[in-house]
Amino acid sequence: MNPLIFTTILMTVLLGTMIVMMSSHWLMIWIGFEMNLLAIIPILMKKYNPRTMEASTKYFLTQATASMLLMMAIIINLMHSGQWTITKVFNPTASIIMTSALAMKLGLTPFHFWVPEVTQGISLTSGLILLTWQKLAPMSILYQISPSINLNILLTMAVLSILVGGWGGLNQTQLRKIMAYSSIAHMGWMTAVLVYNPTLTMLNMLIYIMMTLTMFMLFIHSSSTTTLSLSHTWNKTPLITTLILITLLSMGGLPPLSGFMPKWMIIQELTKNSSIILPTLMAIMALLNLYFYMRLTYSTSLTMFPSTNNMKMKWQFETKRITLLPPLIVMSSLLLPLTPMLSILD
């Protein structure tokens, strides 16, 4: 793509999300979502093959439906409250419709079907933007309407997302689909605590974005999109292999890595609000997630995965230089001792 046009379109994606996060008028928020959607389509379609076109079409259709539902919820809210300001949505019908629309944008169950298919059809960098930056805008709106969200619907969607994200990722060998199911599960964790303590949602979002960014950068560095291809990195850059191990275990939520911090805080917050069964179920279902991360680490870092002899030397084009990879890796694995700093957030 022409670099000038690519920069313009990328800046428009940023501008769309910024407009969503900073507007006080519901209509401007909707315009921001549409600008975001429109501008990310050519980024998803960077390579012109039928797979990317199909993935972009699926993304466009689901997100446009979600925007239409959002507009309907905005208008119902306007009808019943007479104003366009962003506050909690007082009318329960509008609140339910808006929650469903934002769940469709995030990829929560039962609207999760597009996430693996779209992520698989696009390149690794586009998938990175899709799974990290695109989650910021809907989550910011959920944060702003969080006092009025129907608890039953949101918690059902959250728990089902954790289940689907864990279960669905079990049979995958393609790395992009694994990251997609991991995204579904993490979104479930984030929305589970939204009604109780939205600050923890933001904390989880921050740590999730860091870890997903790190994972995608490691995949881009080793140019691998399948488990088999990832298992050959020990030959080329053994250090990257070790870092894949650490980051994957951090994503699985194991202490003493930083991925444990959001899960710990969320479970603590849920138990403070006298729900015991729910965090227990959530923690048990996070084990499914951990299983397929550990299978990746097993095949990549801990064993020499079986392959034919002519595949043992991994060939690729020149090594990509990824800026900020070391700080990202450090941040996504060593942040746990900083947990007491969270007290400044109140």
Chain residues binding other proteins by CB under 8 A are: 1, 5, 8-9, 12, 15, 19, 27-28, 31-32, 34-35, 38-39, 41-42, 45, 48, 56, 76, 79, 93
> What's the rounded Cα separation, in Å, for the pair 181 and 115?
8
Expressed in angstroms, the distance from the first to the final Cα of the chain is: 45
Q: How far is the CB of 39 from other proteins (least distance, A)?
A: 6
Whichever of 42 and 198 has its CB closer to other proteins, that residue is 42
Q: Closest approach of Cβ 313 to other proteins, in Å?
A: 31
What's the closest the beta carbon of residue 61 comes to other proteins, in angstroms? 14
Q: Which lies closer to other proteins via its Cβ, residue 35 or residue 329?
A: 35
Q: Which is nearer to other proteins, 93 or 303 (CB)?
A: 93
Nearer to other proteins, 72 or 202 (CB): 72
By C-beta, is 31 or 209 nearer to other proteins?
31
Cα(184)–Cα(219) distance, integer angstroms: 19
Evaluated on CA atoms 233, 239, 244, 249, the torsion sign reads positive
Taking the C-alpha atoms of residue 110 and residue 259, their distance in angstroms, rounded to an integer, is 25
- Token pair 């046009």 in the structure block, residue: 5
* Alpha helix ranges (H) inside 145-222: 151-168, 175-192, 198-221
CB nearer other proteins, residue 134 or residue 258? 134
Task: Compare residues 34 and 260 and give the one whose CB is closer to other proteins.
Answer: 34
Smallest distance, Å, CB 54 to other proteins?
13
**335 in Cβ contact with 203 (< 8 Å):** no
Smallest distance from other proteins to CB 80, Å = 8
Cβ closest to other proteins, residue 92 vs residue 238: 92
Q: Residue 58 Cβ, how far from other proteins at the closest point, in Å? A: 15
Q: Which residues pair with 174 in a beta bridge?
A: 226
Half-sphere exposure of 209 (CA within 13 A, CB side): 13
Closest distance to other proteins from the beta carbon of 98 (Å): 13
Q: 3-state SS of the chain: helix, strand, coil percent to 5?
A: 75, 0, 25
Helix H or strand E segment including 239: helix 238-251
* Shortest Cβ 38–other proteins spacing (Å): 5
Q: How far is the CB of 12 from other proteins (least distance, A)?
A: 5
Dihedral in degrees, nearest 10, Cα atoms 217, 219, 225, 231:
-170
Q: Are 42 and 107 in contact (CB under 8 A)?
A: no
Distance in angstroms (rounded) separating the CA atoms of residues 334 and 314: 30
Name which of 122, 110, 109, 4 is nearest 59 in CA terms. 122
- Which residue's CB is nearer to other proteins, number 27 or number 304? 27
Mapping DSSP to helix (H, G, I), strand (E, B) and coil, where does residue 30 land?
A: helix
Task: State which residue, 44 or 270, has the beta carbon closest to other proteins.
Answer: 44
Please tell me whether residue 174 adopts helix, strand or coil conformation: strand
Amino acid at 313: M
Element (H, E) at 297: helix 277-297
The minimum distance between CB 76 and other proteins, in angstroms, equals 6
